[in-house]
Structure 1
């Protein structure tokens, strides 16, 4: 696609427009999109109009714009995420019903933890993860599992970067994080006390397809809750998901 004067392609600018939407900002005006995407107003208005015409965005009677149903439709066709979510959901529901805590499915995407599914319970502890939301790999239990079983280059890349603290107990020292990752590979699970919120403990296990770790299954428990039962349920569910995928 043709480049702009800044060297950006049309595709890159469209992605910037779409990425201005999130769970807390589901409807915007074209001017708000222009500002948040750091695009000239005329460019943003033109792209929005074209995306509305194709159904990737919808415009309501007040002039505000939302992500379109056609975008959702296209995203579902042949999606690896959809296949994994469909295989995992029955087993996640079983785990969540037994443990009555947040149960989550996540994958590694662009060196972050991307959550594909989350099942919650009214009595469950606080949890900031959202479906289609991201967290740093080093800060969540699912991310620690994904990073532990990632290739050497991915681990080295994360360990060489500054590591942000989401809570006072997030591991931000690369030497200590490397120890956590080695222990996770050795034990096949992780228990993270207060890494994101001091009130919670998160546990996670890998999900494998034909031996390769493709996802992580996690639960968020009250800080002092026992973890053995949750880990046993997660291991059984992860094994069942792997069989379903195979």
Structure 2
């Protein structure tokens, strides 16, 4: 099975004479300090003490102390008994309340439930978020055993099937911006630029990725892009396929792949895209 995605022509971006995003006209030093703290904490699962934060930011402890206390009071960071600070899920929750994501999730969930029931497999929907892949919706398999991703979980951008289809179905400039913002997750497998480029070209040519999981043995990922009305991937549908080896008869792998592709095409159509066709070779 091959997926053919006919993307519409893209308008050229217009530049504004005399303005540069790299040379801001106005600055807010206090706000920038707070954002710098959030940016640093994104990169750690174990958190940092105030002293470690000061070293990372190149600022004194007295400069950042009130910022950290304010961020903790507002629920953006949390401190443990060792005075190590980590991010909470508040930023993710805020992004999840954003209208486009809420709309996408609301439309996708009934289709994900149907897909789980038809395939007898778990499935999830992911988006690109701040250099990583974030799970925004998930439905468990109706079977006794299932394997799935938690809503809110973050995954690697360059070593997951969801990340690959999200990257493959973006224009080169946007793909470069996504990779420039790439933030590694714990355990993420490194991949060279040329190898990644060739892999993404294959994913785009095929319209999907079917590949053994790079994180869990015995799982085969079946990932398709959800295409928006601009022709870009706005999300990825993924089924972490588990093969039954007992006498229970479930849909075969090829049938599961077809069902996932059909679901992604339906969701893309609901998102305003009309060029998503599934061809069987």
Q: Same fold (TM over 0.5)?
A: yes
Q: 1:164 to 1:101 in 2, by over 3 A?
A: same
Pairwise CA distance, 1:17: 8.3
Report the counterpart of residue 232 of structure 1 in structure 2. 258
1:214 paired to 2:214:
no
1:197 paired to 2:228:
no
Report the counterpart of residue 15 of structure 1 in structure 2. 38
Report the counterpart of residue 156 of structure 2 in structure 1. 136
The number of residues matched between the two structures is 227
Superposition CA RMSD, Å = 4.3
1:152 paired to 2:172:
yes
Report the counterpart of residue 145 of structure 2 in structure 1. 123
Deviations 1:187-223 (A, max 9, x none): 2111111322222110101111223321111110126
**In structure 2, how many angstroms separate the alpha carbons of the residues matched to 1:48 and 1:140?**
33
Pairwise CA distance, 1:230: 1.9
Report the counterpart of residue 86 of structure 1 in structure 2. 106
Pairwise CA distance, 1:116: 1.6
**In structure 1, how many angstroms separate the alpha carbons of the residues matched to 2:157 and 2:206?**
18
For structure 2, the residue ranges without an aligned partner over 5 or more in a row are 1-26, 246-251, 273-281
Pairwise CA distance, 1:172: 3.1
Deviations 1:39-66 (A, max 9, x none): 766566533543465566799xxx9999
TM-score for the superposition, normalised by structure 1: 0.68
Identify which range, 86-95 or 100-109, moves more after superposition.
100-109
TM-score for the superposition, normalised by structure 2: 0.61
- Higher Cα Rg, which structure: 2
Report SS of the residue matched to 1:138: coil
1:107 paired to 2:130:
no
